[in-house]
Structure 1
Amino acid sequence: MPTRMVLSLTVVALAVAAAGCASEPRGPLPVADAFVEAFARNDVAAAAEFTNLPEKASGALRSAWDKLQAEQLVARTGAARVSGDTATVDYTYEWRLPKNRMWRYSGQLQMGRSDGRWMVRWTSSDIHPKLGDTQTLALRSAPAPRARVNEQSGSDVLVPGKVSRVAFTAAQATDAKAVATALAAALNRFDKSLTPESILRAAKAATGAYTVARLNENESGQVSTDLIGLPGVTLTQQWDLIGTDRDFAPDLLAQVRKTVIEEVDGKAGWSVVTMNANGVDTDLLTEVPAQPAPSFSLSIDRNVQNAAQRAVDPRTEQTMMVVLRPSTGAILAVAQNKAADRDGPIATIGQYPPGSVFKTVTAAAAISTGLATPDTVLPCPSQIVIGERTIPNYNLFTVGSVPMTTAYERSCNTSFAQLASALPGSALHDTAAKLGVGPRYSVVGLPTVSGTVPSADNLIQRTEDGIGQGKVVVSPFGMALMTATIAHGSAPVPYLIAGRPTEIDGDRPALASDVVDGLRAMMRRVVTGGTAERIADQGEVSGKTGEAEVDGGSHSWFVGFRGDIAFATLLVRGGSSDNAVAVTRDMFAALPAGY
Structure 2
Amino acid sequence: MRTRRNRLALFTAPVLVLAACSSGPDQPDSVAGAFADALNRDDLAAAAALTDDPAAANATLGALYDGLGKEATFEVRSTDKDTFTLAATWKFGAEGKSGEWAYTTTGTAAEGDDGWKIAWNPTTLAPGLDTGPLTYSPVYPTPARVLDASGGDLMTEQEVTLVNVAEGADTAALAALLGPIVDDITEASLRQDLAAAQGKPVTALALREQDLAPIRARLDGMSGVTLAPQNRLLTTDKALASPALSGLTELWQQDRDAHAGWAVRAQTAEGTERVAGADPTPTTDLATTLDIDTQNAAEAALDSIPQPAAIVALRPSNGAVVAVAQNEPADGQGPIALTGLYPPGSTFKTVTASAALQTGAVTPDTVLPCPGSADIEGRRIPNDDNFDLGAVPLHAAFAHSCNTTMGALGVKLPPDGLTKAAAQLGLGVDYITPGLTTVTGKVPAADTPAQRVESAIGQGEVTASPFGMALVAASVAHGRPPAPMLVLGQQGVADSTQEPLPQPVADQLKSMMRETITSGTATQLNDIPGLLGKTGTAEYIDDEHAHGWFVGIDGDLAFAVFISDAGSSTPAVDAAGRMLRARR
Question: Given the two structures, how large is their TM-score scaled by the length of structure 1?
Answer: 0.69
Q: Displacement, 1:417?
A: 0.4
User: Compared with structure 1, are the counterparts of its residues 212 and 143 closer, same or farther at alpha carbon in structure 2 (3 Å cutoff)?
Assistant: closer
Shift in Å, 1:267: 5.4
Question: Which digits, 9 at most, give the CA deviation of each residue in 1:22-61, with x for residues without a partner?
Answer: xxxxxxxxxxxxxxxxxxxxxxxxxxxxxxxxxxxxxxxx
**Aligned pair partner of 2:168 in 173, 184, 188:** 173
Give, in angstroms, the shift of residue 167 of structure 1: 3.2
Structure 1 position 412 matched with structure 2 position 402: yes
Aligned equivalents of 1:315 and 1:500: distance in 2? Answer: 34
> Equivalent of 2:336, from 335, 346, 361?
346
Shift of 1:566: 0.3
Whether contact under 8 Å (2:141, 2:256) holds in the other structure is: no
TM superposition shift of 1:143 = 6.9
Task: Give the distance between the partners of 1:482 and 1:586, measured in 2 at CA.
Answer: 21
Q: How does 1:89-488 map to 2 (within 5 A)?
A: 144-169=141-166, 172-173=167-168, 175-184=170-179, 188-189=180-181, 191-196=182-187, 198-201=189-192, 204=195, 208-264=200-256, 291-488=281-478
SS of alignment partner, residue 574 of structure 1: coil
- Residues 326 and 337 of structure 2 are in contact (CA less than 8 Å); yes or no, is this contact kept in structure 1? yes
In the superposition, relative to structure 1, how do residues 164 and 532 fare at CA in structure 2: closer, same or farther (>3 Å)?
same
Indicate if the aligned counterparts of 1:357 and 1:546 stay in contact, CA closer than 8 A.
Answer: yes
Amino acid at match of 1:560: G
* Match in the other structure for 2:55: none
Q: Secondary structure at the match of 2:284?
A: coil
User: Where do 5+ consecutive residues of structure 1 fail to align?
Assistant: 1-97, 103-140, 271-287
Which amino acid in structure 2 is aligned with residue 557 of structure 1?
A: W
Distance 2:429 2:576 in 1: 26
Aligned match for 1:568, one of 541, 555, 560: 560
SS in 1 for 2:431: strand
Counterpart for residue 282 of structure 1: none
Is residue 155–residue 233 contact of structure 2 (8 Å, CA) maintained in 1?
Answer: yes
Residue 499 (structure 1) aligns with: 489
Deviations 1:317-336 (A, max 9, x none): 10110000000100000000
Judge which range, 242-251 or 370-379, deviates more.
242-251
Q: 1:209 to 1:494 in 2, by over 3 A?
A: farther
1:555 and 2:552 matched? no
Percent identity between the aligned chains? Answer: 41
CA distance in 1, matches of 2:100, 2:446: 61
- CA spacing shift, 1:168–1:404, aligned 2, 3 Å: farther
> How far off is 1:490 after superposition?
1.4
Distance across 1 between alignment mates of 2:322 and 2:316: 10
Partner-residue secondary structure (3-state), 1:471 = coil
Is the Cα contact below 8 Å between 2:428 and 2:441 reproduced in 1?
yes
| Change in CA separation of 1:575 and 1:499 when aligned onto 2, cut-off 3 Å | same
Map Cα deviations across residues 145-184 of structure 1 (whole Å, 9 max, x no partner). Answer: 1111111111112112322222334xx0365334323332
In structure 2, what is the Cα distance between the partners aligned to 1:301 and 1:216?
Answer: 24
Q: After TM superposition, which residue ranges in structure 1, 4 or more long, deviate above 6 angstroms? A: 98-102
**SS state of the match for residue 491, structure 2?**
coil
Would the alpha carbon gap of residues 510 and 267 (structure 1) be closer, same or farther in structure 2, given more than 3 Å must change?
Answer: closer
In the other structure, the counterpart of 1:577 is: 569
Q: Secondary structure at the match of 1:177?
A: helix
- The offset of 1:396, in angstroms, is 1.2
Equivalent position amino acid for 2:560 in 1: A
User: Whole-Å Cα distance in 2 between the matches of residues 326 and 453 of structure 1?
Assistant: 22
What are the superposed Cα offsets for residues 397-452 of structure 1, whole Å, 9 maximum, x if unpaired? Answer: 10001011110111111000000011111000000000010111112212100000
1:544-594 deviation per Cα after TM superposition (whole angstroms, max 9, x unaligned): 001001135110000011100000000000112111000000001111x4x
Letter in 2 for 1:297: A
Question: For each residue in 1:126-153, what CA deviation from the matched residue of structure 2 results, as whole angstroms up to 9, or x when unmatched?
Answer: xxxxxxxxxxxxxxx9974111111111
CA distance in 1, matches of 2:574, 2:348: 20
Task: Specify the alignment match of 2:499 in structure 1.
Answer: 509
Cα distance, 1:193 vs. partner?
4.8
Deviation at 1:266, TM superposition (A): 8.1
Q: Residue by residue, what CA displacement relative to the aligned partner does 1:438-489 show, whole Å, maximum 9, x if unpaired?
A: 1111122121000000011111111101001110000000000000011111
Cα distance in 1, alignment partners of residues 190 and 395 from structure 2: 54
Q: Given the superposition, is the C-alpha separation of residues 523 and 199 from structure 1 closer, same or farther in structure 2, using an over 3 Å criterion?
A: farther
- Given that residues 265 and 292 in structure 1 are in contact (C-alpha distance below 8 angstroms), is that contact kept between their aligned partners in structure 2? no
| Aligned residue among 513, 521, 528 for 2:511 | 521
Q: How far is the alpha carbon of 1:214 from its aligned partner?
A: 1.8
- Following superposition of structure 1 onto structure 2, how do residues 60-71 of structure 1 map, counting pairs within 5 Å? none
Tell me how far apart the structure 2 counterparts of residues 268 and 390 of structure 1 sit (CA, whole Å): 63
Residue 199 of structure 1, CA deviation: 4.7
Aligned counterparts of 2:390 and 2:314: Cα–Cα separation in 1 = 37
The SS at the match of 1:357 is: helix
Determine the C-alpha separation between the residues in 1 that align with 2:437 and 2:476. Answer: 23
CA pair 244-315 structure 1, distance change in 2 beyond 3 A = same
Work out the CA distance in 2 between the residues paired with 1:216 and 1:373. 59
How far did 1:516 drift? 0.3
Q: Would the alpha carbon gap of residues 183 and 370 (structure 1) be closer, same or farther in structure 2, given more than 3 Å must change? A: same
Query: What RMSD, in angstroms, separates the aligned Cα atoms of the two structures?
Result: 2.6
8 Å CA contact retained: 1:160, 1:240: yes
How far does residue 242 in structure 1 lie from its aligned partner after superposition? 2.1
* Residues 78-120 of structure 1: CA deviation (Å, up to 9, x unaligned): xxxxxxxxxxxxxxxxxxxx97899xxxxxxxxxxxxxxxxxx
SS of corresponding position for 1:264? helix
Instruction: Count the aligned residue pairs.
Output: 434
Distance 1:425 1:142 in 2: 58
TM-score for the superposition, normalised by structure 2? 0.70
Aligned AA for 1:304?
A: T
Aligned counterparts of 1:401 and 1:198: Cα–Cα separation in 2? 61
Which has the higher Rg, Structure 1 or Structure 2? 1
Deviation at 1:525, TM superposition (A): 0.3
Shift of 1:262: 2.9
8 Å CA contact retained: 1:558, 1:569: yes
Q: Note if contact 1:216-1:242 (Cα within 8 Å) is conserved in structure 2.
A: no
Instruction: Give yes or no for contact 2:145–2:153 (8 Å, CA) kept in 1.
Output: yes
Secondary structure of the residue that 1:496 maps to in structure 2? strand
CA distance in 2 between counterparts of 1:202 and 1:586 reads: 40
Query: 1:526/1:236 Cα in 2 relative to 1: closer, same or farther (>3 Å)?
Result: same
Alpha-carbon spacing, 1:251–1:269, altered in 2? closer, same or farther (3 Å): closer
Is the contact between residue 163 and residue 242 of structure 1 (CA under 8 Å) also seen in structure 2?
Answer: no
CA–CA separation in structure 1 for the residues paired with 2:453 and 2:195: 51
Show the 5 A alignment for 1:536-555.
536-551=526-541, 553-555=545-547
Match of 1:132 in 2: none
